[in-house]
């Protein structure tokens, strides 16, 4: 892996892949193909340094994904697709579609996009088609879908909207535009002036480091809050809507996202605040019905016990570090998809219709031969074992009121689908 350094204020020009100081509205781009290499902003170093990695071997791409230099489900999927292209150039032991796919699939088990990105190129390579064309086509479709998510979700974000988001579901996580941030971005560029509450997102601070950086690049008003402050602002009516991304969404609408999302969803529900989940089609896993089937990545305990070289817990204390949690669909007001808003109770039907319309040409996902391996360095010594969270809601206020073809909201959210619920206070 080699890299180029740029000043922290650099951003990616709309016109090309070169970081620069462009006009207002220039968009951040997380990764791109250049010559015979994958270039990617090293997300571990933001916001202090903008360093662009130059990745020329599949094992470097796998390492970049594993260590979160490339992160966020759609970016992981596109990065892996180009990782497959690099493997196809190689004369070494990874120079087979299956070996390269296995290596990349072992990096992060939760993001469904990873397996979709791998499969697009694996199939092309195995069929004798051009792997690079397949990766480029996949990247284009992800970017287009994220833009469509932005258009679909932008009407939810009014001038006075105060939006809470968790983790980073912006351009860094999706190549361009973002999922949760795309509606905010498009509303902002349409002349609205939304305000974003940014959860810091322990333990790796994707919100504080990355979302705040992206919003700052474009001049979108925001404030970073400690993860445990979200309830305070929700309760005080200082949040109008919540928008988050996802790593995997099941047919029932249960979904995995960055750990901490579940508690935000429950708090939003408790306080009558609409809760939206924005995702491209590659994040939807039509093979899974319920949340408890989603593999949840557990990462190394040192991400919790240390910050850089600083030890934050007493010697001998153990730690657990689930990277994601699973939120039951009953807390979701609607999914913001490239095709528009979809209520959870409509999701299975929408996915089935997409499948039958595509007549077998839909983007399928790679199936690794074995179960996902645990993350390197995961240390669970002395900690209680995990048990699968029950994500089957005993009551689902939204399911009973399903209607064909329109968003039907659970009772506490009725009348707020446009995110225009009036709130007592403004952060201004
Ligand atoms: O561990 P990360 O940083 O890859 O987790 C990312 C998230 O949880 C994002 O919210 C998710 O991938 C959605 S990205 C559009």
Query: pLDDT of 269-325, one tens digit each?
Result: 999 999 999 999 999 999 999 999 999 999 999 999 999 999 999 999 999 999 999
Ligand 1 and 257: CB distance under 6 A: yes
Confidence bin at 6 (pLDDT 50/70/90)? very low
In terms of domains, do 107 and 158 share one?
A: no
**What share of residues in the chain are helix, strand, coil (percent, to 5)?**
35, 15, 45
Same domain as 179, residue 203:
yes
Q: Mean pLDDT, the chain, as a whole number?
A: 85
**Is 414's pLDDT higher than 70?**
no
Q: Give the tens place of pLDDT for each residue, 193-231.
A: 999 999 999 999 999 999 999 999 999 999 999 999 999
381 within domain boundaries: no
Q: Given phi > 0 = left and psi -120 to 50 = alpha, else beta, which region is 250? A: beta
Kindly state whether residues 364 and 221 are assigned to the same domain: yes
Taking residues 380-408, report their average pLDDT.
37
Q: Are residues 62 and 130 in the same domain?
A: yes
- The band of 371, judged by pLDDT with boundaries at 50, 70 and 90, is very low
Whole domain around residue 71: which residue ranges?
Answer: 2-143
Residue nearest atom 15 of ligand 1, based on CA coordinates: 169
Q: Would you state the pLDDT for residue 360?
A: 64
CA of 178, closest atom in ligand 1:
15
- Helix runs in 23-72, H state only: 58-66
Spatial CA neighbour of 120 closest among 107, 129, 111: 129
The neighbouring-strand residues paired with 242 are: 164, 275
Query: Does 377 fall in a domain?
Result: no
**Same domain (yes/no): 124, 230:** no
Instruction: Give yes or no for residue 344 having a pLDDT over 60.
Output: yes
Which residue would you say has higher pLDDT here, 424 or 87? 87
Name beta bridge partners: 277.
Answer: 244, 335
Within a domain: 379: no
Does 31 share its domain with 102?
yes
Residue that terminates a domain, selected from 143, 170, 192: 143
Residue 41: partners with Cβ closer than 8 Å, 6 or more residues away:
12, 28, 29, 30, 31, 50, 51, 52, 53, 172
Ligand 1 centroid – CA 315 distance (Å) = 30
Section 329-357 average pLDDT: 96
Does residue 5 surpass a pLDDT of 90? no
Query: In which band, very low, low, confident or very high, does the pLDDT at 335 lie, cut at 50, 70 and 90?
Result: very high
Q: What is the structure's pLDDT at 2?
A: 52
CA–centroid distance, 424 to ligand 1, in Å, is: 32
Query: For residues 168 and 206, is the Cβ–Cβ distance under 8 A?
Result: yes
Q: What is the mean pLDDT of residues 12-16?
A: 36
Element (H, E) at 6: strand 2-6
Q: Is the CB of 65 under 6 A from ligand 1?
A: no
174 in contact with ligand 1, CB cutoff 6 A: yes
Atom 6, ligand 1: which residue's CA is nearest? 72
Res. 99: pLDDT tops 50: yes
**Alpha carbon of 335 to ligand 1 centroid (Å):** 16
pLDDT band at 26 (very low <50, low <70, confident <90, very high): low
CATH number of residue 21's parent domain: 1.20.120.420
Lowest-confidence pick of 84-88, 371-375, 400-404: 400-404
- What single-letter DSSP state applies at residue 189? H
Same domain, 343 and 322: yes
Q: Is-catalytic flag, 247?
A: yes
Q: Which residue has the higher pLDDT, 97 or 17?
A: 97
Q: Is the pLDDT of residue 387 over 60?
A: no
The answer to the question of residue 14 being in a domain is: yes
Q: Cα angle at 44 between 150 and 224, to 5 degrees?
A: 55
73, 79, 199: residue to mutate for ligand 1 pocket, most atoms within 8 A of CB? 73
User: Cβ atoms within 10 A of the Cβ of 160, count?
Assistant: 16
| Residue 200 beta carbon below 6 angstroms from any ligand 1 atom | no
Residue 380 lies inside a defined structural domain of this protein = no
Largest CA distance in the chain: 64
Name which residue sits closest to atom 2 of ligand 1, judged by CA: 72
The reply to whether ligand 1 has any atom less than 6 angstroms from the CB of 173 is yes
Same domain, 305 and 352: yes
Last residue of a domain, one of 119, 143, 167: 143
Residue of 258, 283, 322 best suited for mutating to test ligand 1, as the one with most atoms within 8 Å of CB: 258
**Ligand 1 pocket, 169 CB below 6 A?**
yes
- The tally of CA atoms less than 13 A away on the side-chain side of residue 51 is 15
**How would you label 6-19 residue by residue, b for 16+ Cβ within 10 Å and e otherwise?**
beeebbbbeeeeeb
Q: What predicted TM-score, i.e. pTM, was given to this entire model?
A: 0.85
Helix axes 73-89, 112-126, angle to 10 degrees: 30
Residue 118's pLDDT is: 98
How large is the average pLDDT for residues 12-34? 56
pLDDT of residue 94: 64
Q: What is the pLDDT of residue 330?
A: 98
% of the chain with per-residue pLDDT over 90: 75
CB-neighbour burial class of residue 88 (10 A; exposed 0-12, middle 13-18, buried 19+): buried
Q: Is 181 in the pocket of ligand 1 (CB under 6 A)?
A: no
Q: How many domains does the chain have?
A: 2
Please tell me whether residues 132 and 156 are part of one structural domain. Answer: no
Whether 408 lines ligand 1, by a CB cut-off of 6 Å, is no
Please give the C-alpha separations between residue 371 and each of 19, 357, 368, 391, in angstroms, as whole numbers: 39, 31, 7, 21
The percent of residues in the chain predicted with pLDDT above 70, rounded, is 79
Cα of 93 from ligand 1 centre, angstroms: 31
Tell me if 384 is assigned to some domain: no
Residues 300 and 366 reside in one and the same domain: yes
The pLDDT of residue 382 = 43
The reply to whether 387 falls in a domain is no
Is the CB–ligand 1 distance for residue 179 below 6 Å?
Answer: yes
Nearest CA to ligand 1 atom 8: 258
Lowest model confidence (mean pLDDT) among 21-35, 108-122, 260-274: 21-35
Q: Is the beta carbon of 332 within 6 A of some atom in ligand 1?
A: no
110 Cα: distance to centroid of ligand 1 (angstroms) = 10
> Given 199, 227, 240, 247, which residue is catalytic?
247
Query: What is the distance between the alpha carbons of residues 327 and 302, in angstroms, rounded to a whole number?
Result: 25
410 against 203, higher pLDDT: 203
Last residue of a domain, one of 143, 169, 190: 143
Q: What is the CATH number of the domain that holds 232?
A: 3.40.50.10470
Evaluate whether residue 274 is within a structural domain. Answer: yes
Same structural domain for residues 257 and 130? no
User: What is the predicted pLDDT for the residue at 1?
Assistant: 59
Whether residue 297 sits in one domain with residue 191: yes
């Amino acid at each position: 892996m080699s890299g180029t350094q740029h000043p922290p204020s650099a951003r990616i020009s709309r016109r090309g892949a070169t970081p620069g100081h462009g006009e207002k509205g220039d968009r951040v781009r997380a990764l791109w193909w250049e010559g015979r290499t994958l270039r990617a902003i090293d997300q571990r170093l933001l916001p202090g340094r903008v360093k662009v990695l130059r990745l020329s071997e599949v094992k470097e791409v796998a390492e970049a994904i594993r260590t979160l230099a490339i992160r966020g489900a759609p970016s992981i999927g596109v990065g892996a697709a180009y990782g497959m292209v690099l493997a196809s150039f190689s004369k070494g032991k990874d120079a087979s579609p299956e070996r390269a796919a296995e290596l990349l699939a072992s990096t992060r088990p939760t993001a469904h996009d990873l397996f979709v990105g791998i499969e697009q190129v694996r199939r092309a390579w195995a069929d004798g088609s051009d792997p690079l064309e397949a990766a480029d086509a996949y990247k284009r479709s992800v970017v287009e879908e994220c833009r469509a998510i932005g258009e679909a979700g932008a009407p939810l974000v009014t001038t006075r909207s105060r939006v809470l988001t968790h983790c980073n579901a912006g351009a860094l996580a999706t190549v361009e535009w973002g999922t949760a941030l795309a509606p905010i971005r498009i509303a902002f560029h349409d002349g609205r002036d939304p305000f974003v509450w940014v959860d810091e997102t322990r333990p790796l601070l994707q919100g504080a480091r990355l979302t705040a950086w992206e919003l700052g690049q474009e001049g979108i008003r925001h404030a970073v809050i400690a993860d445990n402050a979200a309830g305070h602002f929700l309760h005080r009516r200082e949040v109008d809507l919540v928008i988050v991304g996802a790593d995997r969404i099941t047919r029932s609408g249960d979904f995995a996202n960055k750990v901490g999302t579940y508690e935000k969803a429950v708090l939003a529900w408790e306080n009558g605040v609409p809760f939206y989940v924005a995702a491209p089609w590659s994040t939807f896993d039509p093979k899974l019905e319920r949340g408890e089937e989603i593999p949840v990545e557990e990462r190394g305990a040192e991400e919790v016990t240390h910050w850089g070289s600083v030890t934050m817990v007493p010697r001998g204390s153990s730690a657990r570090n689930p990277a994601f949690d699973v939120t039951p669909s009953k807390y979701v007001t609607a999914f913001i998809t490239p095709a528009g808003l979809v209520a959870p109770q409509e999701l299975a039907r929408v996915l089935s219709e997409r499948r039958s319309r595509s007549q077998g040409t839909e983007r399928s996902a790679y199936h690794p031969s074995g179960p996902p391996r645990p993350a390197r360095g995961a240390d669970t010594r002395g900690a209680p074992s995990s048990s699968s969270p029950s994500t089957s809601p005993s009551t689902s206020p939204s399911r009973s009121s399903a209607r064909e073809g329109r968003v039907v909201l659970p009772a506490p959210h009725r009348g707020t689908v446009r995110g225009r619920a009036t709130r007592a206070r403004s952060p201004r």
